[in-house]
Amino acid sequence: MIKLVILAFALLLCSFSEVIAQDAMDFQGQFSALTSFSPDNDLDWFAGARYIPEVSYTVKLDSVQSIDFEASANLAGSILFHPFSASETNTDIDPYRIWARYSRKKFEVRAGLQKIDFGVATLLRPLQWFNQIDPRDPLQLTNGVYGVLARYYFLNNANIWVWGLYGNERTRGFDALETNDRKPEFGGRIQHPVPRGEIGLSYHHRTVNTATFPGLEMLDGITENKYGIDAKWDVTIGLWIEATYSKKSENIGLLTHQSLLNIGSDYTFAIGNGLNITAEHLISSFDESAFEFNNVANVSAFSTNYPLGFFDTLSAFYYYDWENNTNTVLINYEHQFKKITGYAMAYYNAETQQGIQQNNLVNNFSGPGIRVMLVYNH
């Protein structure tokens, strides 16, 4: 019911036609097709296509006020198969974004199915509380959340975020338990500039769903409070830190407390067209008591990006899980044709990929493999 109220509010923001001074409608879309081969899997061939049509509408109320509306869908179909023996097919038709926004010079409020994203880390992201962006995905696709988000911007670039969510049940980021979609979530964020950088403080409250987790089926009404801090400085090289702490309202063993700490850096070397290297290290721990760090996991991640020319880019990602001694690698060559972007990828994925932000719009197979993808934007 509350989800319908959120969407109704989003539509209501777009219904003030009597105050329209100037409006504009735009239609665009993204079509992608890919195929991959992963010989270590029983169904070793994958083929899929996705189309995300998007309609946006802007109403200019005056020189500083406007109302924007955006609606898009995720239309996807795929097949997993081993030639001449077995196959699995899947089709999805889901809303991707449905939101409306009222904005003026220093303030905006957005309601509906939307993307909420903040934080300074890029590869291993403790603050990825509301999406599932995989840094290896060139399209950066992610599911949205239903809710209302308000932001206010100060003249010194400081800003305040306040949000309320409802109807979202999927796990997001490093969540160990799903969210109870019948209970509202809420939180906020303050971001402020500091010398040569910025710092942010974040908070979020939700009710977890224990009904589908083995051993916790009879528990109900357990809440979780999340606290986050992130800071970034530009001191010749980019330096950042991003950390979160989560606490459940009841003792549920090792899932009661969660601590995540990311330390990262990046730098662009004056080599050829400019070689950018990003490095991050994530320390994570699940504990029965706060900050025990008895169950610690360490993951290191590296990414490189090198433009070969105006139309060609070579990038690579590498992840190392120290506890499991596993490696994950992806090398991606991108070429920009006149109207189509092509990607040729070679990868090796570990069976367990602790710390990598996978989303359910991208298939990641274990073992070695190759992937080819074509993307057309109109």
Answer yes or no: are the C-beta atoms of 132 and 139 closer than 8 Å: no
Q: What is the pLDDT of residue 22?
A: 57
Answer yes or no: are the C-beta atoms of 115 and 99 closer than 8 Å: no
Residue 265 lies in a domain: yes
* pLDDT tens track for 166-193: 999 989 999 989 999 999 999 999 999 9
Structural domain for 195, as ranges: 109-377
Q: What is the pLDDT of residue 6?
A: 55
Residue 360 lies in a domain: yes
* pLDDT tens track for 133-152: 999 999 999 999 999 999 99
Q: What is the pLDDT of residue 116?
A: 98
> Does the model's pTM come out above 0.85?
yes
d(CA 126, CA 357): 10
Residue 37 lies in a domain: no
Residue 257 lies in a domain: yes
Name which of 336, 345, 378 is nearest 30 in CA terms. 378
Calculate the average pLDDT of the chain.
91
Report how far apart the first and last C-alpha atoms of the chain are (Å, whole number). 35
Q: What is the pLDDT of residue 17?
A: 42
Number of domains observed in the structure of the chain: 1
Predicted confidence (pLDDT) at residue 354 exceeds the cutoff of 80: no
Residue 132 lies in a domain: yes
Higher pLDDT, 216 or 227: 227
248: Cα separation from own chain's centroid: 23
Name which of 208, 288, 209 is nearest 256 in CA terms. 288
What is the CB neighbour count within 10 angstroms for residue 218? 7
| Range in 103-112, 240-249, 289-298 the model is least confident about | 289-298
Q: What's the average model confidence in pLDDT over 260-272?
A: 97
Please give the full DSSP string across 253-265, using - where no structure is assigned: GGGSEEEEEEEEE
Rounding to the nearest 10 degrees, give the CA dihedral for residues 204, 209, 213, 219.
Answer: 110
Residue 172 lies in a domain: yes
d(CA 96, CA 85): 34
d(CA 209, CA 239): 36
Q: What is the pLDDT of residue 167?
A: 96
CATH of the domain at 289: 2.40.160
* pLDDT tens track for 118-138: 999 999 999 999 998 999 999
Q: What's the average model confidence in pLDDT over 50-76?
A: 96
d(CA 330, CA 346): 6
Name residues whose C-beta falls within 8 Å of residue 33's C-beta, 6 or more positions apart in sequence: 48, 49, 50, 373, 374
Residue 83 lies in a domain: no
Cβ-based burial of 192 (10 A; exposed 0-12, middle 13-18, buried ≥19): middle
Q: What is the pLDDT of residue 19?
A: 45
Residue 18 lies in a domain: no
Q: What's the average model confidence in pLDDT over 243-271?
A: 96
